[in-house]
């Protein structure tokens, strides 16, 4: 018997305290986008119209932003890490990041002023690879710690980018604490982590702004097609990406905001539980899920106020939902473009299909107002970052019913 999808509608009281919405203004996001497009390898990632799947599911349109093409790193995460690192460098130099495009950052003059910086982080794979790549590209160093059970393929990908990296015997949140301790002991060390806690919020805020490049691109792409989304599904680990997307959307669509649904792995559903309890909840333990990019048990304290204020629904999903999405995108309907999407990338598509196809989740789709006129946007945040697992799911049907 399949494990059940669980959900809670956002009924949390709206406080008078304004969330940190200035993080995700059009101006702030465009500054991050301008930084990213200064890289020679920058290219806008595809927005794919899955028209035949939309018709099958009974909605007007389904658009998917495919981040497997981002900077040739197979995932979106590099957007946040690279921009935060540039902001750290700008702060050290006493300059605005807008004066430090790629060509300036890699110059000999900047290197002489800065000396050697070592960027520390913890990761399940994609964030660490992005930090390692950006550090190497910007002529700096990186040290990456991975939680127990991390994929050896993902570790090797990080090592190939020039980082010092190792798999620890810690869970994700413990690895974050360990990386923070190591960075604090290094006079030239800087922690670049995509989560926040009291006293560590500036850099995670920059990371969220860096993720905004993806939102900036996709809404420009939609606008060129004369389309506005009615619903957005976005995956969450600590909630940095979800808060980034939700913050930008709240600014861009003030008159008719789309319904944003936050999607988590059931093994690490800290935001779902927090919404249910109206209080931040920590999920401990091993956090074992095939959705490695979402295996985080502690919410980002910068992102949470944004999600609490604006998001419509929080959903906790078992692993089979992600596997379903991967198979649907990897073996598309005739006429739709194939998308190679990993476990964390395909979960939103899998959820959308499950709730529209299965009457067991009729109450969920009705609560979200999904119907034949709905225009849905999802993000495929990664490609096949673990190729062996990808093949086991697509070829052998792994995680189809558990």
Count of beta carbons in the 10 Å neighbourhood of residue 284: 12
Q: What are phi and psi of 401, to 5 degrees?
A: -145, 20
Active site residue 373: no
Count of beta carbons in the 10 Å neighbourhood of residue 146: 26
Tokens of 401: 């019913």
Of the candidates 131, 128, 126, 121, the one whose C-alpha atom is nearest the C-alpha of residue 178 is 121
**Which residue has tokens 């040739």?**
72
What is the helix (H) or strand (E) element at residue 143, kind and residue range?
strand 141-146
Do 192 and 85 form a contact (C-beta atoms < 8 A)? yes
Distance CA 259, CA 106 (A): 41
Distance CA 280, CA 277 (A): 8
Q: What is the dihedral of CA 318, 321, 326, 327, to 10 degrees?
A: 130
Length of the chain: 402
Active site residue 169: no
Residue of 31, 65, 66, 124 with catalytic role: 124
DSSP state of 381: -
Q: ∠ CA 198-174-172 to the nearest 5 degrees?
A: 100
Residue of 31, 65, 66, 77 with catalytic role: 77
Judged by DSSP in three states, 313 sits in strand
DSSP state of 218: H
Burial 287-305 (b: 16+ CB within 10 A, else e): bebbbbbbbbbbbbbbbbb
Catalytic residues: 77, 124
């Amino acid at each position: 018997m399949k494990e059940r999808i669980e959900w809670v509608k956002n009924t949390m009281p709206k406080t008078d305290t304004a969330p940190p919405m200035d993080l995700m203004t059009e101006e702030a996001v465009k500054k991050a986008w301008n930084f990213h497009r200064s890289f020679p390898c920058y290219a806008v990632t595809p927005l794919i119209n899955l028209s035949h799947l939309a018709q099958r599911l009974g909605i007007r349109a389904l658009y998917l932003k495919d981040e497997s093409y981002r900077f040739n790193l197979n995932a979106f995460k590099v957007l946040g890490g690279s921009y935060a690192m540039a902001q750290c460098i700008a702060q050290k130099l006493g300059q605005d990041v807008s004066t430090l495009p790629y060509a300036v950052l890699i110059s000999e003059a900047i290197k002489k002023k800065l000396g050697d910086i070592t960027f520390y982080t913890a990761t399940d794979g994609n964030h660490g690879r992005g930090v390692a790549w950006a550090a190497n590209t910007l002529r700096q160093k990186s040290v990456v710690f991975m939680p127990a059970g991390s994929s050896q393929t993902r570790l090797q990908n990080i090592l190939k980018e020039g980082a010092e990296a190792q798999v620890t015997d810690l869970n994700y949140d413990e690895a974050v604490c360990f990386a923070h301790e190591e960075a604090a002991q290094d006079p030239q060390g800087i922690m670049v982590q995509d989560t926040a806690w009291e006293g560590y919020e500036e850099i995670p805020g920059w990371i969220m702004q860096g993720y905004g490049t993806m939102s900036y691109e996709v809404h420009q792409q939609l606008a060129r097609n004369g389309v506005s989304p009615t619903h957005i599904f976005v995956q969450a680990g600590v909630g940095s990406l979800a808060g980034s997307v939700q913050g930008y959307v709240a600014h861009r669509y003030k008159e008719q905001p789309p319904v944003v649904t936050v999607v988590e792995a059931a093994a690490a559903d800290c935001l779902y539980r927090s919404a249910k309890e109206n209080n931040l909840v920590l999920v401990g333990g091993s956090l074992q899920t095939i959705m490695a990019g979402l295996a985080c048990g502690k919410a980002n304290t910068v992102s949470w106020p944004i999600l609490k204020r604006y998001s419509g629904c929080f959903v906790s999903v078992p692993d089979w939902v992600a596997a379903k999405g991967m198979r649907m995108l990897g073996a598309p309907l005739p006429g739709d473009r194939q998308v190679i999407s990993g476990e964390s990338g395909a979960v939103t598509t899998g959820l959308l299909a499950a709730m529209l196809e299965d009457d067991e989740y009729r109450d969920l789709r009705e609560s979200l107002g999904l119907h034949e006129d709905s225009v849905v946007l999802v993000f495929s945040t990664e490609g096949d970052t673990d190729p062996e697992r990808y093949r086991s799911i697509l070829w052998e049907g792994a995680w189809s019913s558990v």
